[in-house]
């Protein structure tokens, strides 16, 4: 995957990211979804090519955000000596969170429903990740089969995390539910101001959930400096773009 020239991003810094962002978003989503399938559906026949795409995705995201290698530096060590577990899972959570939050920020004014959806995908994925990390994947099975709703899922997950010693489990639950519910109850008849505030709430809560996810992994023994040491700084830079483009 060839990296595009820097010039199309010039408008980003002046608040007009939408001209070039959708094509970037499609490339990033394609690469991250391909990693998901490689890990949990059908292994790719070209793992090396997939890893190159993921590295390029991280570098493009750095250029889009102006983060000077923050994101690429987080995934590069894992991609260099790649193992499906835990490395593949770690890269998926890191890039899935950062690319979807970047999309939420980019789409929040012109496509607010989509922005809410993308933030919701971040928290649902991280909840699934912590269920796996805490040996509680049965909670995911119940949620995905429709036997429980998201609030029941996160409530049960919070109980598990608290029992494992994560004191902020309730905060994770509340943040995840706040973001998920913004998209779940979305109504296009809301006023533009109401939509804008709802999206900001969803994105902000999702960002907090990313930070809480890292702290939960520390308690569960699933924390790895690469890439998780850079997740909170990267997410902070992403949400700070809201103020820069207000």
| pLDDT tens-digit profile, the chain (246 residues) | 333 343 333 334 434 444 489 999 999 999 999 999 999 999 999 999 999 999 999 999 999 999 999 999 999 999 999 999 999 999 999 999 999 999 999 999 999 999 999 999 999 999 999 999 999 999 999 999 999 999 999 999 999 999 999 999 999 999 999 999 999 999 999 999 999 999 999 999 999 999 999 999 999 999 999 999 999 999 999 999 998 655
State the pLDDT at residue 244: 60
Task: Quote the Cα angle for 243-21-241, to 5°.
Answer: 10
Name residue, tokens 């909670």.
Answer: 139
Cα distance between residue 157 and residue 213, in whole Å? 12
Burial of 84-97, coded b for 16+ CB within 10 Å and e otherwise, reads: eeebbbbbbbbbbb
Q: DSSP string covering 72-97, please?
A: HHHHHHHHHT--IIIIIHHHHHHHHH
Determine the number of helices (DSSP H) and then strands (DSSP E) in the chain: 11, 0
State the pLDDT at residue 246: 52
pTM for this one?
Answer: 0.91
């Amino acid at each position: 995957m060839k990296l595009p020239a820097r010039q199309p991003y010039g408008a980003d810094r002046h608040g007009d990211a939408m001209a070039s962002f959708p094509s970037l978003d499609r490339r990033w989503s394609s690469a991250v979804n391909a990693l998901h399938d490689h890990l949990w559906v059908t292994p790719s026949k070209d793992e090396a090519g997939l890893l190159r795409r993921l590295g390029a995705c991280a570098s493009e995201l750095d250029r889009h955000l102006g983060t000077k290698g923050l994101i690429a530096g987080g995934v590069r060590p894992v991609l260099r000596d790649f193992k499906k577990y835990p490395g593949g899972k770690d890269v998926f959570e890191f890039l899935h969170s950062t690319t979807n939050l970047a999309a939420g920020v980019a789409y929040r004014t012109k496509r607010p429903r989509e922005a809410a959806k993308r933030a919701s995908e971040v928290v649902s994925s991280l909840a699934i990740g912590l269920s796996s990390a805490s040996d509680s994947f049965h909670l995911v099975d119940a949620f995905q089969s429709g036997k429980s709703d998201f609030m029941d899922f996160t409530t049960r997950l919070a109980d598990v995390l608290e029992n494992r010693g994560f004191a902020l489990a309730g905060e994770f639950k509340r943040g995840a539910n706040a973001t998920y519910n913004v998209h779940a109850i979305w109504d296009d008849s809301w006023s533009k101001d109401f939509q804008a505030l709802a999206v900001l709430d969803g994105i902000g809560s999702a960002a907090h959930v990313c930070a809480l996810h890292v702290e939960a992994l520390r308690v569960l023994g699933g924390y790895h400096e690469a890439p998780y040491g850079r997740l909170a700084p990267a997410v902070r830079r992403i949400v700070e773009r809201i103020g820069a483009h207000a």
